Amino acid sequence: MVNINDVAKAAGVSISTISRVINQSSSVSPVTRNKVMKVIAELGYSPTASEKKDRKKSNKLIGVLFPDISNNVFGRILQGINSVLTPLGYNTVICETNGELDKEIHFLDVLKNKQVEGIIMANVHIPEEHLLWIHRNNKPVVYVCQDIPDFSLKIPISSVNMDNQQAICDMVHFLYNMGHRNIAFIGGPLHDLSAGKKRYQGYMKGIRECSLNTSQDLISFQESFTIADGYEGMHQIYEKSSILPTAVLCACDNIAVGAIDFMYDNNIQVPEHISVTGVDDSNLATAIRPSLTTIRHATFDTGIKAAQILLEYFASPSFTGNSFKLPYQLLRRQSVKHL
């Protein structure tokens, strides 16, 4: 029996494009529409009721949950989401969670009551409560900037992220090639699978691959990813280390800014005495001096991919979801010195 995936493959377009043709969306060009309709006729494809939706019955709402809507990283993602969904008549309902589990569950229930068709969210970690909610309510959820933990239940869940472990490993190699042999690390909470655990694992992987030594005196884990956490993390390394590192690799830009603040308060010059790197390429990265060497990852394309995955869910209820890795870019700026 011919299904929507067969039609998409034969027509050389995405499943979401097939769905838009079936539902007579005005966003599909006449040329593409004619090509798809020709393939449908040739294959004898008959859309199921779930694939041939009545657009008048769809409220065209998508829920978006972000921990901090003032963070320009999430702003870039939202722009990408809207670039795909707005032309198709969808509206986004944006909720700010502050990364708190109670708020996340509360807003998930609010979005369910608003009858959103799908949800895109970013959060510090993915607890079992999230996964159970998705299982109970059967709402497709796409996580951005986070990895999906192992879970036995079959649920409509996907993720869009970079390879955090390899990205931080690459940063260690960059610092090594810049002459640094004593590299410290300030990380976030390890219960955060992506920005916490994977980035720490990337640091350790890079240390091993470069045949470097490290110690607990050069590693600090913080409860969050704020500027204050970066300040405290650098303070801990300063107090514990018998020999100060030549470079500090930070798990995010906010932590890096906090570390630089501590060094400024203690007459340690960046990068003359200690080099500093971050992750995210936030607005702060280019606003501070010295400008911050960092990793750009959560971009416009992240939002585009997340929106496209939701459309795949809508077009094909059998779509089981997946984890998608997008490319990242190491940006060299003023905060790293070549030794």
Tell whether 337 is covered by a domain.
no
Whether residue 303 sits in one domain with residue 158: yes
Whether residue 230 sits in one domain with residue 323: no
Tell whether 317 is covered by a domain.
yes
Instruction: Yes or no: say if 294 and 279 are a contact pair by the CB < 8 Å rule.
Output: yes
Whether residue 95 sits in one domain with residue 36: no
Who's near 211: CB < 8 A, 6+ residues apart? none
Q: What is the pLDDT of residues 194-229, one digit of tens each?
A: 899 999 999 999 999 999 999 999 999 999 899 999
pLDDT band at 127 (very low <50, low <70, confident <90, very high): confident
Task: With a cut of 90, say whether residue 120 has pLDDT above it.
Answer: yes
Task: With a cut of 70, say whether residue 54 has pLDDT above it.
Answer: no
Whether residue 306 sits in one domain with residue 284: no
Who's near 187: CB < 8 A, 6+ residues apart? 196, 199, 200, 203, 219, 220, 221, 222, 233, 251, 255
Tell whether 69 is covered by a domain.
yes
Q: What 8-state DSSP symbol labels residue 163?
A: -
Average model confidence (pLDDT) for the chain? 88
Structural domain tally of the chain? 3
Task: With a cut of 90, say whether residue 318 has pLDDT above it.
Answer: no
Confidence at residue 50, expressed as pLDDT on a 0 to 100 scale: 55
Whether residue 171 sits in one domain with residue 141: no
> Measured between alpha carbons, how far is 144 from 162 in angstroms, rounded to an integer?
9
pLDDT band at 55 (very low <50, low <70, confident <90, very high): very low
Tell whether 50 is covered by a domain.
no
Confidence at residue 56, expressed as pLDDT on a 0 to 100 scale: 46
Confidence at residue 48, expressed as pLDDT on a 0 to 100 scale: 62
Task: With a cut of 90, say whether residue 306 has pLDDT above it.
Answer: yes
Whether residue 89 sits in one domain with residue 23: no
Beta carbons within 10 angstroms of residue 309's beta carbon? 24
Q: What is the pLDDT of residues 2-18, one digit of tens each?
A: 788 888 888 898 888 88
Confidence at residue 138, expressed as pLDDT on a 0 to 100 scale: 78
Confidence at residue 47, expressed as pLDDT on a 0 to 100 scale: 67
Q: Which residue, among 149, 158, 164, 123, has the nearest Cα to 327 in the 3D structure?
A: 164
Tell whether 211 is covered by a domain.
yes
CATH (domain of 147): 3.40.50.2300
Task: With a cut of 90, say whether residue 24 has pLDDT above it.
Answer: no
The percent of residues in the chain predicted with pLDDT above 90, rounded, is 53
Whether residue 203 sits in one domain with residue 322: no
Tell whether 52 is covered by a domain.
no
Whether residue 288 sits in one domain with residue 323: no
Whether residue 170 sits in one domain with residue 106: no
**In the predicted model, what is the mean pLDDT of residues 108-112?**
87
Whether residue 31 sits in one domain with residue 120: no
Tell whether 130 is covered by a domain.
yes
Q: What 8-state DSSP symbol labels residue 123?
A: -
**In the predicted model, what is the mean pLDDT of residues 248-270?**
97
Tell whether 336 is covered by a domain.
no
Q: Which amino acid is at 35?
A: K
Q: Which amino acid is at 233?
A: G
Whether residue 37 sits in one domain with residue 119: no
**In the predicted model, what is the mean pLDDT of residues 49-56?**
52
Task: With a cut of 60, say whether residue 49 has pLDDT above it.
Answer: no
Whether residue 304 sits in one domain with residue 221: no
Please indicate whether residue 30 or residue 51 has the higher confidence score (pLDDT).
Answer: 30
pLDDT band at 58 (very low <50, low <70, confident <90, very high): low
Tell me the residue range of the domain where 210 lies: 164-296
What pTM did the predictor assign? 0.78
